[in-house]
């Protein structure tokens, strides 16, 4: 959902999935840069539909993903027709966090490989309510300057330029039917760490309007930061 | 806590710039090759550009701020808006209607570190003028009228920031009382913040920035103390920002620079406009 006061179209978060390859990605476009929504969509799309395996080719995955995403982003923007205020800002490029995860079927349950740039967080929730989180493990670790994936500069820098891969952290693990995976952008992730309301949220997941009202209350009572919110919950049946 | 309101399209902030257009503004600003009026106009045009930059999103320029610009002294004993046929306007309107555009160049680096010179369009909303006397009181009265109207419709907004740039004393009376009246105006989030920047034409003149005590000002310049008394005390958020930039400020420091050169003018404008933008929703 969008930051309170903004329309849904203003949301700069993106989620994408590929159920064939069991890949999921969430990105949180930085509101300080322009066209971050386009960039967030481009990087989640190229992450889940790329050809590289998360388990065996992590470096190549990031390199290819970002190169393809730049083309998608660059071609989406009609540089020549932008008014001066868009043109002058868009040249600086767009930024976004990114978290990707791929699952692989094992003899019992699944294994997963995940990577992150920035403060979008993956939680693995145990049946007893305890959890492991990646890449951040404490609400104190959230700040205003998370690592970000950068699109590179815009026009007049050409679209086919060498891209600089962002600093990426990786983790892997196993996942079974008693557990649950949450992927959340920073405001929800920090709130989950502070208040631990995993089950309340999980119970509301199938009623979007109730969940929206629930989050709106949390924001209005200052428990959660007013921001674009994305939460993905994955479980095995 | 004061000065903490979120700035949003529903509750926009206001920047009101006042510029001295008296004849003496045609003299060079200390340490520069251009006149005080040219440097002041360029600095404010750039500041508006920066504000628009921060308000620009993919869907356009969002009206997080309203802007007004008042000039005094272009015509003897008069003050007027420097935006044609407008008083206070939403920032998107300024973005869409510059007076003119000029070509500027900047160097940007490609991913291999090669510098590429690129041309970009820079908007200008008003031109420098240096013509007559210094009717600062008339300028402040006009500002007070505009603020009155704006505050009537923005009770919950971040308090307006008024920035006055001048190089000398008022020629139409004592501006202190009306400045105090402006500072006493408020939203629910705090009082209007009144900034003063006094420009110096003497190279090497020692600027006095953000004084907390008027005794540090030159005792032979009466209007130095007058401008001090016309300036707001810096709220904590502005003090923190100034301290982050290693500026010598303390509780009680005023929103004021006396004998400013170009660096001090830009610094004052940057701090005066940046702290509120950190409250953008």
The DSSP code for A218 is H
Nearest-CA distance B101 → chain A (Å): 9
Query: Between chains, do A84 and B118 touch, taking CB under 8 Å as contact?
Result: no
Find the chain B residues whose C-beta atoms sit closer than 8 A to any C-beta of A.
6, 8-10, 52-53, 56-59, 61, 95-96, 101, 108, 110-112, 116, 118, 120-121, 123, 281
Residue B117, pLDDT score: 83
Mean pLDDT of B210-237: 93
Tell me which residue in A3, A157, A163 faces B116 most closely, judged by beta carbons.
Answer: A157
How many alpha carbons fall within 13 Å on the CB side of residue B259?
15
User: Which chain B residues contact residue A14 at CB under 8 A?
Assistant: none
Q: Please, which pLDDT band fits residue B252 given cuts at 50, 70 and 90?
A: very high
Domain ranges of chain A: 8-235
Nearest-CA distance B23 → chain A (Å): 34
Mean pLDDT of B70-94: 94
Residue B148, pLDDT score: 97
* Nearest-5° Cα angle at B89, B87 to B91: 150
Residue A56, pLDDT score: 85
Q: Predicted ipTM?
A: 0.87
* Alpha carbon distance, N-terminus to C-terminus of chain B: 17
Nearest-CA distance A162 → chain B (Å): 6
Regarding predicted confidence, which is higher, B146 or A9?
B146
Backbone angles phi, psi at A158, to 5 degrees: -65, 160
pLDDT surpasses 70 at B32 = yes
Domains in chain B with CATH codes: 13-100+127-277 (3.40.50.410)
Residue A9, pLDDT score: 86
Q: Beta-carbon neighbour count of residue A87 at 10 Å?
A: 19
Stretches where chain A sits below pLDDT 70 are none
Mean pLDDT of B185-202: 94
Query: Between chains, do B58 and A164 touch, taking CB under 8 Å as contact?
Result: no
Size of interface A-B (CB pairs under 8 A): 54
Q: Give the pLDDT confidence of B92-116 residue by residue, as tens digits.
A: 999 999 999 999 988 877 667 777 7
Find the chain A residues whose C-beta atoms sit closer than 8 A to any C-beta of B.
3, 5, 9-10, 31, 34-38, 83-89, 91, 152-153, 156-157, 161-164, 226
Residue A225, pLDDT score: 93
Mean pLDDT of B1-14: 90
Residue B145, pLDDT score: 98
By the 10 Å C-beta count (0-12 exposed, 13-18 middle, 19+ buried), A221 is classed as exposed
Residue B191: C-alpha distances to residues A228, B2, B10, B180, B273 (Å) = 31, 8, 19, 11, 16
Residue B111, pLDDT score: 67
Span A8-235 CATH architecture? 4-Layer Sandwich (3.60)
Q: Please, which pLDDT band fits residue B204 given cuts at 50, 70 and 90?
A: low
């Amino acid at each position: 959902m969008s930051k309170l006061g903004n329309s849904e179209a203003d949301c700069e978060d993106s989620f994408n999935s590929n159920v064939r390859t069991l890949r999921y990605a969430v990105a949180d476009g930085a509101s300080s840069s322009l066209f971050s929504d386009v960039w967030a969509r481009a990087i989640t799309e190229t992450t889940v539909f790329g050809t590289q395996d998360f388990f065996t080719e992590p470096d190549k995955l990031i390199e290819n993903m970002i190169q393809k995403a730049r083309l998608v982003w660059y071609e989406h923007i009609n540089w020549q027709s932008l008014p001066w205020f868009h043109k002058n800002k868009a040249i600086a490029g767009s930024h976004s966090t990114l978290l990707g995860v791929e699952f692989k079927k094992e003899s019992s349950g699944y294994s997963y490989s995940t990577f992150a740039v920035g403060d979008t967080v993956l939680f693995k929730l145990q049946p007893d309510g305890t959890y492991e989180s990646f890449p951040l493990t404490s609400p104190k670790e959230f700040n205003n300057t998370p690592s970000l994936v950068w699109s590179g500069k815009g026009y007049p820098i050409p679209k086919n330029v060498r891209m600089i891969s962002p600093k990426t952290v990786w983790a892997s693990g196993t996942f079974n039917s008693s557990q649950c995976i949450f992927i959340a952008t920073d405001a929800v992730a920090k709130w989950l760490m502070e208040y631990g309301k995993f089950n309340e949220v999980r119970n509301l997941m199938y009623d979007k309007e109730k969940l929206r009202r629930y989050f709106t209350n949390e924001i209005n009572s200052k428990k959660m930061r007013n921001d674009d919110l994305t939460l993905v919950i994955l479980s095995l049946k | 806590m004061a000065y903490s309101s979120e700035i949003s399209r529903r509750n926009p902030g206001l920047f009101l710039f006042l510029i001295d257009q008296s004849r003496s503004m045609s003299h060079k600003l200390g340490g520069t090759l251009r006149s005080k009026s040219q440097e002041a106009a360029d600095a404010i045009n750039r500041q508006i550009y920066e504000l628009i930059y921060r308000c620009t999103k993919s869907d356009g320029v969002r009206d997080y701020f309203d802007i007004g610009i008042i000039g005094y002294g272009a015509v003897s004993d008069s003050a007027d808006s420097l935006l044609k046929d407008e008083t206070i306007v939403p920032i998107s309107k300024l973005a869409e209607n510059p007076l003119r555009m000029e070509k500027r160049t900047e160097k940007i680096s490609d991913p291999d570190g090669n510098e590429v010179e690129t041309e970009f369009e820079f908007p200008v909303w008003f031109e420098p003028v240096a013509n007559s006397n210094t009717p600062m009181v008339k300028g402040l009265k006009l500002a007070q009228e505009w603020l009155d109207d704006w505050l009537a419709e923005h009770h919950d907004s971040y308090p307006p920031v008024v920035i006055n740039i001048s190089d000398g004393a008022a020629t139409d009376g004592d501006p202190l009382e009306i400045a105090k009246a402006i500072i006493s105006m408020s939203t629910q989030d705090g009082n209007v913040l009144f900034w003063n920047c006094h420009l110096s034409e003497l190279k090497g003149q020692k600027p006095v920035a953000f004084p907390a005590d008027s005794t540090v000002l030159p005792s032979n310049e009466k209007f130095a103390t007058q401008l001090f008394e016309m300036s707001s005390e810096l709220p904590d958020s502005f003090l923190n920002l100034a301290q982050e930039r290693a500026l010598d400020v303390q509780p009680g420091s005023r929103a004021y620079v006396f004998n400013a050169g170009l660096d001090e003018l830009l610094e004052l404008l940057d701090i005066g406009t940046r702290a509120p933008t950190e409250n953008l929703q």
